[in-house]
Amino acid sequence: MTNKGLFISFEGIDGAGKSTHIDALARAFAAQGKAVTSTREPGGTALAERLRAMILGDPMDPMTEALLVFAARRDHLQQVIEPALKRGEVLLCDRFTDATFAYQGSGRGFDLATLCYLERLVQTVKGTAGDFVRQPDLTVWFDLAPEIAAQRLAGARVPDKFEAQPAAFFQRVSDGYLQRLQADPKRFARIAADQPREAVWQDVLRAFIQRGWLEPKFTSKMTVIADPDPQSMASDSCDNGCCNPGADPGPV
Ligand code: TYD
């Protein structure tokens, strides 16, 4: 990592338990003196957050959903992602375009070729060496069987439109993530998210240390929860209160 920013996205089916790891990574990078921007999709700007509320709350056909997701992404890229990367920051993004291929493409069955077109249209950026399609430098995929994710989500809160989908939907979403990984394996770190939370955290850390982006001396004593409460750690060793051990578009 030089003065160029670092773009990291986090993916997985609902209930895979990304959030605590994203928070912990933000602390790890900050401990190393890096400026960190944590953001999410859909969302991350005032406009995109309004679109998020519609995408997660309102019934709509798959094309409308895909177009709204990419509209939110365009605003987010222009207002938040590109400026943070230009400033040389670490940009941690809870979901990005892999989620669109997994949820709208694989999950809903929306046309993948159209999603590829929209991806290029929305994410093409002017670089010093020419135009390129913005993608994360690394995508951390929390891979979890849909049945385990469903157990974790059960009773956690009122489910949104996606969380209320049946297990078969999440199996297709999971297959969609696998296809994205197979198309670009070097961009992905696949994490077995069915382990206890601290074991998942060690795997996440390893992915960053191996790439030279985090130094072990800053992270060796870090746990995934800041200032853990020993009692809650004993009874809650994974997220959500349960545990399973075991035609070519122009540039931006
Ligand atoms: P999520 O990231 O799980 O946030 P929270 O933890 O607050 O629920 O929720 C975002 C939802 O949006 C998730 O169900 C996946 C869905 N989504 C899409 O369907 N397509 C997309 O392109 C993105 C980014 C998200």
Residue 250 lies in a domain: no
Residue 96 lies in a domain: yes
Closest C-alpha residue for ligand 1 atom 5: 14
Question: What does pLDDT average to in each consecutive run of 10 residues of the chain (252 residues)?
Answer: 81 95 97 97 98 97 98 98 98 98 98 98 95 98 95 86 94 98 98 97 97 91 71 37 37 44
Kindly state if the Cβ of 99 falls inside 6 Å of ligand 1.
yes
Cα 216 to middle of ligand 1, angstroms: 31
Residue 252 lies in a domain: no
Residue 217 lies in a domain: yes
Half-sphere exposure of 148 (CA within 13 A, CB side): 21
Residue 211 lies in a domain: yes
Kindly state if the Cβ of 103 falls inside 6 Å of ligand 1.
yes
Atom of ligand 1 nearest to the CA of 97: 22
Kindly state if the Cβ of 20 falls inside 6 Å of ligand 1.
no
Residue 81 lies in a domain: yes
Residue 188 pLDDT: 98
Provide the phi-psi class of 95: left if phi over 0, else alpha when psi is between -120 and 50, else beta.
left
Residue 44 pLDDT: 98
Return all residues near 81 (Cβ < 8 A) that are at least 6 apart.
Answer: 7, 39, 44, 91, 93, 134
**Structural Rg of the chain based on CA atoms:** 18
Q: Does residue 191 sit in helix, strand or coil? A: strand
Residue 153 pLDDT: 87
Residue 6 pLDDT: 98
Residue 227 pLDDT: 62
Cα 30 to middle of ligand 1, angstroms: 26
Domain count, the chain: 1
CATH number for the domain harbouring residue 212: 3.40.50.300
Residue 226 pLDDT: 77
Residue 1 lies in a domain: no
Residue 226 lies in a domain: yes
Kindly state if the Cβ of 42 falls inside 6 Å of ligand 1.
yes
Residue 236 pLDDT: 35
Residue 32 tokens, joined? 């190393």
Return all residues near 109 (Cβ < 8 A) that are at least 6 apart.
Answer: 62
**Residue span of the structural domain in which 19 resides:** 6-241
